[in-house]
Amino acid sequence: MRITLIGPGRAGLSIAYAAKKAGHEIVTVVARRPDAARNGARKLDAVASVLDRQLAPSDLWIVATRDDAIASVAETLAERLGEGTDSPKTAIHLSGLSSIETLAPLREFGVLIGSVHPLQTMPNPEVGHVRLHGAWFGITADPGSYDNLAAFVQSLGGRPFVIADEAKPTYHAAAAAAANFTLVNMVVAQDLLDAVDVPIKVLGPLMEAIVANAVEIGPRAALTGPVARGDVDTVAAQILAVAEHAPAMLGIFVSNVASLARIAGRWDQFADLVDEHTS
């Protein structure tokens, strides 16, 4: 496919690098600042442009701006179509949360709209484009465009699945719970390990196994450890250690004991311990 990238940030450039590697042509890189467009375009052998210029023809527009800029960028792009820029067959954005309707101004020019959300973290394009290989991509699409977008995702080595437009906020909250909230507990672990001079890397294989179990048999079935076993004395000893070595993390630790006890159906056993340490 011939692709136009609008918004050469972390996600946009990651997808564009992966697309180029897969044999697609990145025709134009569009940014609001000419230097940002030039930087992105150089690495992709593409033409650099800005939003107020006409665009060369392409098959797919990827609007990779931040979520809050998608609607206004779509309106600007619709103006370009109104002035004679050739319509692409399809235009997508990359947000897991925003409705595809943010791209609706493009529909009146015959463009099919959708979103392709990589369930992956892309801190920069060099790392990001490699991580897209094997990642799952949530696709929301106008009727008639899912197959094309799924084929595009597969060409990048990604794994497509359908996500309905109205389901996106719920789906995005799930992704945040898994990807972002897990890091809260990693910070707790880091502070405790720092206190006893153990590097955080030792947790790698354990965390990988926990994640593998959770996606394979489900997180509830994957529960292990003293709370799941109902071992109150062990958890009480852990709480004392946290209070001594990472007191700033005590609230998070105790609230997680409470959540876990409820999920494991052991709240009756842990209620007193939790109350004792909840101010």
Using CB under 6 A as the binding rule, whether residue 9 contacts ligand NAP is answered as yes
For tokens 């394009």, the residue is 125
CB of 121 to ligand NAP, least distance (A): 4
Using CB under 6 A as the binding rule, whether residue 12 contacts ligand NAP is answered as yes
Which amino acid is it at 129?
A: H
Q: Restricting to residues 172-201, name those near ligand NAP by CB under 6 A.
A: none
Binding mask 204-243 for ligand NAP (x = CB under 6 A): ----------------------------------------
Token digits of residue 241 = 């250690």
Token digits of residue 151 = 């084929």
Using CB under 6 A as the binding rule, whether residue 262 contacts ligand NAP is answered as no
Token digits of residue 64 = 């990779």
Using CB under 6 A as the binding rule, whether residue 32 contacts ligand NAP is answered as yes
Given 3, 11, 116, 261, the residue binding ligand NAP (CB under 6 A)? 11
Given 21, 39, 43, 67, the residue binding ligand NAP (CB under 6 A)? 67
Nearest to 60 by CA among 141, 125, 124: 141
Token digits of residue 25 = 């042509």
Using CB under 6 A as the binding rule, whether residue 95 contacts ligand NAP is answered as yes
Crossing angle for the helix pair 34-44 and 10-21, to the nearest 10 degrees: 20
Query: Vertex 262, ends 257 and 267: CA angle to 5°?
Result: 85
Q: How many residues bind ligand NAP (CB under 6 A)?
A: 25
Crossing angle for the helix pair 250-263 and 232-245, to the nearest 10 degrees: 160
Query: Vertex 53, ends 49 and 55: CA angle to 5°?
Result: 70
Given 31, 41, 91, 92, the residue binding ligand NAP (CB under 6 A)? 31
Using CB under 6 A as the binding rule, whether residue 39 contacts ligand NAP is answered as no
Token digits of residue 37 = 């467009």
Residues making contact with ligand NAP (CB under 6 A): 7-12, 31-33, 36, 64-67, 69, 72-73, 93-96, 117-118, 121-122
